[in-house]
């Protein structure tokens, strides 16, 4: 009899130690950050996303999805902020390195000195270099400047090619502050009528500017920039001729334009 009682007590103790957590507890913890302690002493920490008959599913801070068998669980508790380990920052603020290449375009340029399309490459963990094509003739502000207040006509195919450099700095989570440098060359044609008759003009100018802004990045690789550029645009040549005498080239005075614009980039890292 004594041996029977001792045996029953052992079974009771073992059963108590390895009793499963009730379904009511699991259901109450769905979508909570939890720490699951298993019978073997190991722990699984993450967000509890679903509860089935035999298993529960947890998404860990590093993004891995783990399935834990209920019968292997000895206890479960809510993971408070003080229990988050230093090496596992909350997923919503964890950093993500820049990908190797990017593509972006600037639709706000339609209202300024032209929309641009740009492709670039990461040369260091936080430095990007890119090459952009700007369709200046499609910019409303550009048309105003190039035609002296819409007195003349400027070709819609006027363009610029620009080299870009970005230095990015850590901000909140995966987002970035950035500084930007630009060096480019632009060309265009205009035409109109004055006291000498119909004329055709051509000009080339440099574009040198610096700026900065803020980049909102997303896990998918999509990003949005909000920034500004300011600089100068010295003309290299500024000529015209009258269509009645195309062999006579007239050299106009060279101007230095002020380059300034807001930027809204929509882009993708890949």
pLDDT tens digits for range 94-107: 678 999 999 999 99
Look at residue 230 and tell me whether its pLDDT is greater than 80. yes
The boundaries of every CATH 2.40.160 domain in the chain are 101-269
In this structure, what DSSP letter does residue 144 have? H
pTM of the predicted model as reported, rounded to 2 decimal places: 0.64
At residue 62, the pLDDT reads 78
Secondary structure (DSSP) of 156-198 = TT-EEEEEEEEEEEE-STT-EEEEEEEEEEEEEEEEEEETTEE
Beta-strand relationship, 73-78 and 33-38: antiparallel
Let me know: does 136 contact 164? Beta carbons within 8 Å.
Answer: no
At residue 138, the pLDDT reads 98
CATH 2.60.200.30 given to domain 21-80:
no
pLDDT tens digits for range 135-188: 999 999 999 999 999 999 999 999 999 999 999 999 988 999 999 999 999 999
User: Could you tell me the pLDDT band of residue 231, with boundaries at 50, 70 and 90?
Assistant: very high
pLDDT tens digits for range 80-92: 754 444 444 444 4
Q: Which tops the pLDDT comparison, 24 or 48?
A: 48
User: Could you tell me the pLDDT band of residue 3, with boundaries at 50, 70 and 90?
Assistant: low
pLDDT above 70 covers a percentage of the chain that reads 87
Look at residue 1 and tell me whether its pLDDT is greater than 50. yes
Q: Which tops the pLDDT comparison, 64 or 219?
A: 219
The boundaries of every CATH 2.30.30.100 domain in the chain are 21-80
Q: Which fold has domain 101-269?
A: Porin (2.40.160)
At residue 43, the pLDDT reads 87
The partner residues of 213 in beta bridges, in order of sequence, read: 178, 227
150 torsion bin: left (phi>0), alpha (psi -120 to 50), beta (else) = left
At residue 129, the pLDDT reads 98
């Amino acid at each position: 009899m004594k041996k029977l009682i001792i045996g029953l007590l052992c079974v009771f103790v073992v059963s108590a130690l390895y009793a499963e957590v009730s379904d009511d507890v699991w259901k109450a913890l769905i979508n909570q950050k939890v720490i699951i302690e298993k019978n073997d002493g190991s722990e699984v920490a993450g967000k509890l996303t679903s509860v089935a008959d035999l298993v529960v599913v947890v998404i860990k801070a590093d993004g891995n999805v783990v399935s834990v068998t209920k019968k292997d669980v000895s206890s479960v508790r809510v993971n408070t902020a003080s229990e988050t380990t230093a090496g596992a920052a909350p997923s919503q603020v964890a950093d993500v390195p820049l990908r190797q290449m990017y593509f972006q375009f600037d639709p706000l340029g339609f209202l300024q000195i032209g929309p641009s399309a740009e492709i670039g490459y990461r040369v260091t963990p936080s430095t990007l270099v890119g090459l952009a094509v700007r369709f200046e003739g499609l910019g409303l502000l550009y048309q105003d400047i190039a035609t002296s207040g819409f007195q003349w006509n400027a070709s819609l195919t006027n363009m610029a090619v620009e080299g870009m450099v970005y230095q990015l700095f850590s901000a909140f989570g995966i987002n970035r502050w950035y500084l930007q440098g630009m060096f480019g060359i632009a060309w265009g044609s205009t035409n109109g009528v004055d006291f000498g008759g119909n004329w055709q003009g051509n000009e080339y100018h440099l574009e040198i500017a610096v700026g900065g802004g803020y980049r909102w990045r997303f896990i998918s690789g999509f990003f949005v920039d909000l920034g500004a550029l300011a600089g100068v645009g010295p003309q290299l040549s500024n000529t015209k001729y009258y269509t009645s005498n195309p062999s006579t080239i007239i050299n106009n005075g060279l101007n230095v334009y002020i380059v300034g614009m807001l930027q809204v980039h929509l882009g993708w890292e890949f």
